[in-house]
Amino acid sequence: MACLLEAPLRISVLSEVTATSRHYVDRLFDPDPQNVLQGVIDMKNAVIGNNRQKANLIVLGAVPRLLYLLQQSSSSLELRTECAVVLGSLAMGTENNIKSLVDCHIIPALLQGLLCSDLIFIEACLRCLRTVFISPVTPVQLLYTDPTVIPHLMSLLSLSQHTQEYITQIFAHCCKTPEHQTVLFNHGAIQNIAPLLISPSYKVRMQALKCFSVLAYENAQVSMTLVNVLVDGEQLSQVFVRMMQRDKPIEMQLTAAKCLTYMCRAGAIRTDDNCIVLKTLPCLVRMCSKERLLEERVEGAETLAYLMEPDIELQRIASVTDHLVSMLADYFKYPSSVSAITDIKREKGDAFYSIILYCKCSLDHDLKHAHELRQAAFKLYASLGSNDEDIRKKITETENMMDRIVSGLSESSIKVRLAAVRCLHSLSRSVQQLRTSFHDHAVWKPLMKLLQNAPDEVLVMASSTLCNLLLEFSPSKEPILESGVIELLCSLTQSDSPALRVNGIWALMNMAFQADQKVKVEIVQALGTEQLFRLLSDPDTNVLMKTLGLLRNLLSTRPDMSSHGKQIMQAVTLILEGEHSIEVKEQTLCILANIADGNTAKELIMTNDDMLQKIKYYMGHSNVKLQLAATFCISNLIWNEEDGSQERQDKLREMGFVDILHKLTQASDPNLCDRAKKAMQQYLA
């Protein structure tokens, strides 16, 4: 009975609210302009802080009427300004509000309003545009549709501090792609925004700083230009350094550090420059301390990881700065699931739980950011340990680190899983860790599970890690082989993604290295000759190189070429004749040398005069690597201890190979000279 009465009650309340809202909308159509103005002002006061009222007015059609009034030249400037203010207030509601405003074409209307000469109206339009554009649901491309918009916004920067704040904030939020960077750069963003870094307004300085961070990100042209910019006679990089001082707001320190980080990564500032080593890196390490807000710790760690990713010296400096490696362990001390919170409640009791919830860093807050913290920590550990063996050892010896990585591989957040496997990949470059920590924690098991069903970006990193676990000296190689991984890897070679094809074939190549014949047969059977030869004609050079490496390993122990000999020789011929790099042709000649080492396989080369002429050509090539590989091939063909060696030697002598070998014994390269002399000894024996 109570349930039956509830619905009419709600309808009654809704009708009352809608009726009140209808009153505001109706006043927008009053024939008296003064009544319309007063109605807009009353609407402005009614919607402040009232999301329900905002939603009602949007549903009742207030937005089209407000936009109409805003665009009418017959409307007074005061009315047009108040309309812009109300629209800005509506935009501060929910994301659905923003979507409705965008669907009503609010952006073109407001941009048109910027052509007005009245500063107060312009500021109102810009404030509303700012609110609309910073919403994640607004398509930023709408800013770039009309090519006249960006230059006009640049021209408005000088009008007031408000226009400077709003326009730079719009640019900072709407610069998402290299194309956006180019448009802003070409329209003078650097020259127009640089002076704002010394504005008396903190908000203007901050938005200008954010602008430069998005402009410089992975953009060499912008970064190189920024290095030469002077602001009030001071180099821009030094302005950024001052903004990183400890007495500046954290937001400013962090954003300035990002600007210098991006300029450094783009090649505009050297990694050993004092502004990087002594200022930017220490600033970012400070951002990782537990005294900072969780959001700041996340941003600081991710920026630091990006800064030192390619530079071993920065990695070494960071690893001994403020106990960074152990400091990051604190990133994992926040609950990452509802069950973890429930466990704390069960263990400590409701009263303790309530106290924690009441604290500044409540469990709700921790839960919200736990995944981001884990992701940032894994990224930073991955960057720290990407080159130096001692740092990797320090990371793995950090409290429960390997357990955390293994746990991270099965986290609910895809971003955390990706960061965890990236960290694992970084550590897997260590022979010592492969033999110890990786073996002790059986990391191959969760890694294999991750490979079964994951998005491509995770699959690429996981399969790349697997390649390292399949190296000859890795204790994980045997159990991985026994788990039936060959079929999985063969399926990766058929992927549309070049990176996955490379990793699939790379892992098979590592697996085949010095492997038993049984394993090699399994690989060939699972991969299939058709797929193998398809990979040999892959347009991606990395795929081709790894396929050649696989073939070389499969043929490394006196191969039996009876099954697919002619097809392999045909593939080798096509590669040697094609427009391929020196590295590809060297690998191909090495395969030929392995074929030449087989008992029956030798005949495939000796009966192919075209192939012999190719070997002869590469023995006289200008590249020493190709000469060496070709000479090694001939050396295997004429080896005295094998049947038929005399006939092969005689034929090759007739074709002029001995003369070439004799010349190569005088080669300036010691390895080539030595190989040629050993081959000549076969004729003298």
pLDDT (tens digit, 9 = 90+) per residue, 25-77? 999 999 999 999 999 999 999 999 899 999 999 999 999 999 999 999 999 99
**Distance separating alpha carbons of residues 85 and 113, to the nearest angstrom:** 13
C-beta of residue 257 within 8 angstroms of C-beta of residue 280: yes
Judge whether 65 lies within some domain.
no
**Distance separating alpha carbons of residues 641 and 631, to the nearest angstrom:** 18
Q: Are residues 623 and 576 in the same domain?
A: yes
At 255, which helix (H) or strand (E)? helix 250-265
Q: Are residues 570 and 674 in the same domain?
A: yes
Judge whether 117 lies within some domain.
no
Judge whether 540 lies within some domain.
yes
Phi/psi at 116 (5° precision)? -70, 155
Q: Are residues 594 and 524 in the same domain?
A: no
Share of the chain residues as helix, strand and coil, in percent rounded to the nearest 5: 75, 0, 25
**Distance separating alpha carbons of residues 384 and 388, to the nearest angstrom:** 8
Judge whether 36 lies within some domain.
no
C-beta of residue 535 within 8 angstroms of C-beta of residue 543: yes
Task: From residue 661, give the alpha-carbon distance in Å to each of 153, 199, 353, 676, 678.
Answer: 73, 75, 83, 5, 10
- Which of 542, 557, 572 terminates a domain? The answer is 557
pLDDT at 1: 32
Q: Are residues 446 and 540 in the same domain?
A: yes
Structural tokens at position 118: 């009245």
- Which of 530, 557, 584 terminates a domain? The answer is 557
User: pLDDT digit string (tens) for 269-298?
Assistant: 999 999 999 999 999 999 999 999 999 999
Place of tokens 């609010």: 106
Place of tokens 């002076």: 195
Question: Nearest to residue 223, comparing CAs of 260, 248, 191, 171?
Answer: 260
161, exposed or middle or buried, with CB in 10 Å at 0-12, 13-18, 19+? middle
Judge whether 594 lies within some domain.
yes
Residue 639: DSSP 8-state: -
pLDDT at 674: 94
Judge whether 387 lies within some domain.
no
C-beta of residue 524 within 8 angstroms of C-beta of residue 559: no
Judge whether 16 lies within some domain.
no
What does the angle CA 554 – CA 456 – CA 498 come to, to the nearest 5 degrees? 45
Q: Are residues 641 and 597 in the same domain?
A: yes
| pTM for the whole structure | 0.85
Q: Are residues 468 and 567 in the same domain?
A: no
Q: Are residues 637 and 582 in the same domain?
A: yes
Q: Are residues 441 and 475 in the same domain?
A: yes
At 86, which helix (H) or strand (E)? helix 77-91
Task: Tell me the one-letter amino acid at 504.
Answer: G
Q: Are residues 541 and 599 in the same domain?
A: no
C-beta of residue 390 within 8 angstroms of C-beta of residue 318: no
Q: Are residues 579 and 545 in the same domain?
A: no
**Distance separating alpha carbons of residues 206 and 123, to the nearest angstrom:** 19
Judge whether 41 lies within some domain.
no
Within 8 A by CB and 6+ apart from 215, the residues are 175, 181, 184, 185, 189, 190, 222
Q: Are residues 550 and 435 in the same domain?
A: yes
Q: Domain count for the chain, please give it.
A: 2
In DSSP terms, 230 is beta-bridged to 235
Residue 279: DSSP 8-state: I
Q: Are residues 467 and 574 in the same domain?
A: no
Strand, coil or helix: what is 566?
helix
What CATH number has the domain bearing residue 529? 1.25.10.10
- Which of 538, 557, 576 terminates a domain? The answer is 557
Task: From residue 388, give the alpha-carbon distance in Å to each of 317, 395, 420, 683.
Answer: 11, 11, 19, 49
Q: Dihedral (C-alpha) 561, 562, 566, 568: value to the nearest 10 degrees?
A: -30
Within 8 A by CB and 6+ apart from 117, the residues are none
**Which positions of the chain have pLDDT values less than 70?**
1-19, 336-368, 558-565, 598-600, 685
Centre a 10 Å sphere on the Cβ of residue 298 and count the other Cβ atoms it contains.
Answer: 23
Residue 130: DSSP 8-state: H
Centre a 10 Å sphere on the Cβ of residue 339 and count the other Cβ atoms it contains.
Answer: 8
Phi/psi at 231 (5° precision)? -120, 110
Encode 6-41: b = buried (16+ Cβ within 10 Å), e = exposed: eeeeeeeeeeeeeeebeebbebbeeeeeeebbebbe
Structural tokens at position 606: 């000796």
* Enclosing domain of residue 469: 430-557
Residue 30: DSSP 8-state: -
**Distance separating alpha carbons of residues 72 and 517, to the nearest angstrom:** 84
Q: How many alpha carbons fall within 13 Å on the CB side of residue 88?
A: 21
Structural tokens at position 629: 């590989």
Structural tokens at position 24: 């505001």
DSSP state letters, 425-494: HHHTT-HHHHHTHHHHTTTHHHHHHHHHS--HHHHHHHHHHHHHHTSTT-TTHHHHHHTTHHHHHHHHTT
**Distance separating alpha carbons of residues 222 and 187, to the nearest angstrom:** 12
